[in-house]
Amino acid sequence: MTAARVRIALDAMGGDHGPETVIPGAALTLERHPDVSFLIFGDPARIEPLMAAHQQLAAVSEIRASEVFIGMDEKPSQALRRGRGKSSMWQAIQAVKDGEADVAVSAGNTGALMAMATFCLRTMAGVNRPAIAAIWPTVRGESIVLDVGATIGADSRHLITMSLMGAAMASILFDIEQPSVGLLNVGTEDVKGLDEIREAGRVLREQPLSSIRYEGFVEGDDIGQGTVDVVVTEGFTGNIALKTAEGTARQIATYLRQAMSSSLMSRIGYLFARSAFAALKDRLDPRKVNGGVFLGLDGVVIKSHGGTDPTGFAAAIDVGYDMVKYELLARIRAALELSLVGLSPSDETTAVSSAQEGASS
């Protein structure tokens, strides 16, 4: 664990509400973590009036003006061409590359953020594609699920790499020495699923790795049950699972409100069970698990939900703080180096070629 001050670069213009969410969110993080400082990129005319209400934050922050602001609906390729070098999003990421910041946090356009972060920071050695890892509430607490939308499709090598990276993140957030890992599949039997998933399962099963505890295949209902600490899948499936879970949570909340107001007796019953419903609402609060981590990049980048409020944005900054404070990148590098040592010659050749392909693309 590093004892140095954590320097955080913020894209103040990202998300649905921009500085009106980012600035008070940063102030909340400062209350919890006095050892942080901020580089804030965006429009000073909007940022400075907000900073006036947060003098402690102003004392540990530097505001830098940006010329371009990336819209939530811009295509990643368009955003990269228009915003490279000049946008608040790019400048926050560039600060990490230049060593001025330890982590960049943005609530902006996910595709644009991934494109810029990959282009600017590049991937780590041994990683051909980055992944977005999300914190997922479960009946047992929380799990990590990845990839939830960085890239579509995954070969066996990418699934193995994501298993190692996700376990490194879980070891920090959950303080577990050897997190349990499962590959999301259509069944738990070894013979089920796509060839890539079965091959990844074989390697993880036959090549013991000290940084993870491989538990085999898991199914969709295992995610919410918290069967394993880390659930690994490719981005298309992971994003659908994430959006389905978010929609289901809203659906349940709607059902409960309708049921509680349907009759006089139900309203009276609600008064008696008010504390239980408050606890349920708190458990389902998406703001508390806000903050997707872009794993596999040679730098730490955190994606906040675009529509969150200051409480949710502060949670995303907090995730970034933990990733830096407990040296996520060093843990991932160590896990990847050990995995290459443990792989068979044929698997190692595949890993190296995959990394080379990623670097050239």
Number of H helices, E strands in the chain: 15, 11
Q: Kindly state the average pLDDT of the residues 150-177.
A: 91
The larger pLDDT score, comparing residue 100 to residue 346, is at 100
Q: Kindly state the average pLDDT of the residues 337-354.
A: 46
Indicate whether 339 pLDDT > 90. no
Residue 232's DSSP bridge partners are 146, 183
Q: Which tens digits make up the pLDDT trace of 8-24?
A: 999 999 999 999 999 99
Beta pairing class for 131-138 and 292-295: antiparallel
Indicate whether 327 pLDDT > 70. yes
What percent of the chain stands above pLDDT 90? 58
pLDDT at 323: 92
- 286 is written with which tokens? 């998406």
pLDDT at 342: 46
pLDDT at 133: 94
Query: Domains in the chain and their CATH numbers?
Result: 1-121+289-326 (3.40.718.10), 127-284+328-361 (3.40.718.10)
pTM of the predicted model, to two decimals?
0.84
Residue 292's DSSP bridge partners are 303
Q: Which tens digits make up the pLDDT trace of 34-56?
A: 999 999 999 999 999 999 999 99
- DSSP state letters, 285-336: -GGGG--EEEETBSSEEEE--TT--HHHHHHHHHHHHHHHHTTHHHHHHHHH
Among candidate residues 2, 333, 320, the one with its CA nearest the CA of residue 135: 320
Nearby residues of 228 by Cβ (< 8 Å), 6 or more positions away: 143, 179, 180, 181, 182, 215, 218, 222
264-272 and 235-260 are packed helices; what angle lies between their axes, rounded to 10 degrees?
Answer: 110
Highest mean pLDDT among 198-202, 261-265, 272-276: 198-202
Q: Kindly state the average pLDDT of the residues 235-261.
A: 83
Distance of alpha carbon 189 from alpha carbon 186, whole angstroms: 9
Q: Which tens digits make up the pLDDT trace of 97-139?
A: 999 999 999 999 999 999 999 999 999 988 888 999 998 888 8
Query: Lowest mean pLDDT: which of 39-43, 155-159, 342-346?
Result: 342-346
Q: Kindly state the average pLDDT of the residues 204-215.
A: 87
Distance of alpha carbon 305 from alpha carbon 11, whole angstroms: 13
pLDDT at 1: 57
Task: Fill in the DSSP letter of residue 123.
Answer: B
As a three-state string, the secondary structure of 38-66 is EEEEECHHHHHHHHCCCHHHHHCEEEEEC
